[in-house]
Amino acid sequence: MLKGIPAILSPELLKTLCEMGHSDRLVIADGNFPAESMGKGAKVIRMDGHGTAELLAAILQVFPLDTYVAAPVSLMAVMPGDPVATPIWQEYEAIVSRYDDRGAGAIGQIERFAFYEEAKQAYVIIATGEAALYANIMLQKGVVTVNQS
């Protein structure tokens, strides 16, 4: 075990986060996301039994968001006409705001099928047991600067 590292971050996930470079992307996928088929060219890490929000909070403690793009955090947009509420997005906004001064301004949306195409290019897809709909979230890695711990 390590001090200061959230216990939810497994050794495999920590190693993967360390391997990622500037502008690499990761997807934290909900339980309905086709992680294995989308992740054929990426690493897929199973985190069944965990939710997306708890993983997002843990990852952002060690993972810098890209400051060279307007929205380093992307949500899968709700399909037009789909009567789905997305209360988990407010949780995401609160979590991102704790770790990035841009707050909700760092979050954008990508149309569902475009999100799938972007996910195919991700470095890693983290498959969770999240039951909330449209809970998929993509993060783009930034750089660690000298004054960051």
Tens digit of pLDDT per residue, the chain (149 long)? 678 899 999 999 999 999 999 999 999 999 999 999 998 888 999 999 999 999 999 999 999 999 999 999 999 999 999 999 999 999 999 999 999 999 999 999 999 999 999 999 999 999 999 999 999 999 999 998 877 65
* Residues classed as catalytic: 22, 66, 116
Place of tokens 């996910």: 119
- 26: phi then psi, degrees, rounded to nearest 5: -130, 150
DSSP classification of residue 66 = P
Burial class (CB in 10 A: 0-12, 13-18, 19+), 95: buried
Which residues on adjacent β-strands are paired with residue 126? 28, 45
58 in Cβ contact with 9 (< 8 Å): yes
Position 21 scores a pLDDT of 96
59: left (phi over 0), alpha (psi -120 to 50) or beta: alpha
Which residues on adjacent β-strands are paired with residue 128? 47
Position 149 scores a pLDDT of 57
Residue 125 to residue 43: CA distance in whole angstroms: 6
Which strand (E) or helix (H) includes residue 27? strand 25-29
